[in-house]
Structure 1
Amino acid sequence: MHKNIVILGTQWGDEGKGKIVDFLSSNSAYTVRFHGGHNAGHTLVVNGKKIILHLIPSGLLYPNVIGIISNGVVISPFELVKEIKMLEKNNYFISQRLFISESAPLILPYHVAMDLAREKKLGINSIGTTGRGIGPAYEDKIARRALRIGDLKNIKKLSKKLEVIVDYYNNQLVSFYKEQSISYKKILQDLLKVRDIVYNMIQDTATILHKAIEDKKRIIFEGAQGTFLDIDHGTYPYVTSSNSTIGGVITGTGVGPKNLDYILGITKSYTTRVGKGPFPTELFDETGDYLSKKGKEFGSTTGRKRRTGWLDGVALRYAVKINSLSSLCITKLDVLDDLEQIKICTSYKDVNTSQIYKDFSIFNLENISPVYETHPGWMKKTSGIKKIEDLPEEARNYLNRIEEIAQIPIDIISTGPDRSDTILVKSLFF
């Protein structure tokens, strides 16, 4: 039986993970965020109402689910409280069933100031971060100077550490970047205001998860971003600052690999990415504009327009391998409904030497063009269809070809943003 399911993005994020986490969480006891911060945005549509979550696990919209924000996540305590209050306004009360790892590093105003100052100084060479302080917060973690959310339990110790670190950042912000200094006192005052709200949520979450495993409770591990934004395996340096691939689950939660039963890769029926960096199948034509408009391709965190392109089979094969994916979930199939032709990239061609690459390498992305195969579109509506056999034949053929390329099955198909717009090809709970 698949007790514990990992949900990962196989592209550059924005694949529709939040909806699938929400969809599967109705049969689960726990939903766990294991990496990233509020640079991720998961858009959920429940009964026609849109809710965007950045830090809080998507499964918490179900009253029976317990949410865990584990040690691999960097947390802005102010954004977390804002999100809890937003959910309360929408009649979702989660403060008794959300637990936060005491080891999770804090994102504080000096991280945001440093993130923005660096991007500004880089100018046209900027990475294209969300400007939320994620990178600097992870740097503090690796440099062993991070304040962690567990530090909120000891104000005396916290204030001493905070004063030292604010001084460290102000030296750089003022002297090198010529920016305003950050007020240590204001940060401390603001932390004291949110401390009471989150105090009882701060727990040893690894122990909670191991108890859940012993009790045979079902756990969903919710990935943020996507495979190609992974700090180690992505299109470096245009990546995030955490491991968004399978290893991030293990280090980010304290749950070992033998307790991960099933790994589901979320794949959009085409490809998008936000921000800068290589994107082999990017389209600059009417089809690209069509995918952008029909797919409503704007970042849920930044509002930035996403770049759009055809499905990249080379990248997908790589994502399958490095994440040990069990199966795929294809999302936004309905976005392709009106296209006469649909393309899939099956290899890359070096524009200078004509060499063909069938394997993905971040060092071979500069002078390549995608090699496509073309498939007929179905020119029929797929949204609302509940069974795979009811999909148009051309849509089924397209999905079969994706399975051949990925060499794993497609177990879920999403044909719209709502919870109900989902085809379960094979039950993940048996």
Structure 2
Amino acid sequence: MLACELVVRGFGLTVHFQVFELLREQLWYRPYPGIYVKLIAMLGKCKQPEKARELFEAMIDEGCASTRESYTALVSAYGRSGLFEKAFSLLEEMKGTADCYPDVQTYSILIKSCLQAFAFEKVQVLLSDMAASGIRPNVVTYNTLIDSYGKAKMFMEMEATLVQMLSEQNCAPDVWTMNSAMRAFGGSGQIEMMEKCYDKFQSSGIEPNIKTFNILLDSYGKAGEYQKMSAVMEYMQKYHYSWTIVTYNVVIDAFGRAGDLKQMEYMFRLMQTEKIKPSCVTLCSLVRAYGQAGRPEKIGGVLRFIENSDTMLDTVFFNCLVDVYGKMGCFAEMKEVLELMEEKGCKPDAITYRTMLKAYKDRGMSSHVKQVLELLRSVEVSRMPRKKPDF
């Protein structure tokens, strides 16, 4: 079955199933539950829960007993697609199936899906159900809750969950807990709370990692605390923390926002010296900074860099370019972005045209407004769901 394992890990979803069907036709083939669990999980990630259900039933038809793992994979498939009624129904089905009673992993996976859909009331139902069943949340459960409450700016719930986590035995907070709490406070501009959080976790013996420092750099940069940001950079250099692309993107964006183009450009060059390939996020930060400084010729330099690199561009980058050119009144360049998009095989979307529309409206260019409105309508119409024929 090792060959089957490699098949599941090595290729895309379509190829997986083609090879799997080929294997099933062989005389030596024997059903193996582990392969089914992996394929069900993959279908879940691809938002194909009904296909996952079909495979689950096929597994049973082939003589494989359902397991907690196969049920959990199916619950996850429905949860990822936001089909919570079916996911909760499966949870109840597990309770009545021998050797398949849901465990902390089953609940944690479903809780994560509910949190991603902001279905907080369903999360409370699951937590109550866990308590009634005598299943205690683990570190993963708590970290998922803390991270999601933080992102939703539900600070009371986040802190209450942290307090509950601290009261549990064998469930000590870790660096993921620290980073989630710090990101929540730092991202909302509560710098003092973020710093207190960092000190408390450190004093309890939790060591920071590169993500911790990226959070500090990003939070200080957005709050305009450039002296503190520099102190973090010096600390990282002193203790030999290797910078990632996220670190460079955060620092480049911060210096760009501050209008310190010299330091921003130095960091961009250093990034390339370190053999870290710039991403669209990096390029957007450069373009925004040059636009803010009124330096269209510098944006031309970014475009020349792109021409000589293999950086994969996306619509978000082009929309950023359109926005910056529009704000500077560089309408010829803004229009040329559409040609560049076509050249790079990237289609303009509604945001592209709305951004152009605003730029033209702000300058009272009514004839251009009319042209862009027509393009915008064509994009919106093409995205409308088509009606099925009556016959």
Report the TM-score when normalising by structure 2.
0.23
The structure that is strand-richer by fraction is 1
Tell which structure's C-alpha radius of gyration is larger: 2
Q: TM-score, normalised by structure 1?
A: 0.22
Structure in which a larger fraction of residues adopt helix: 2
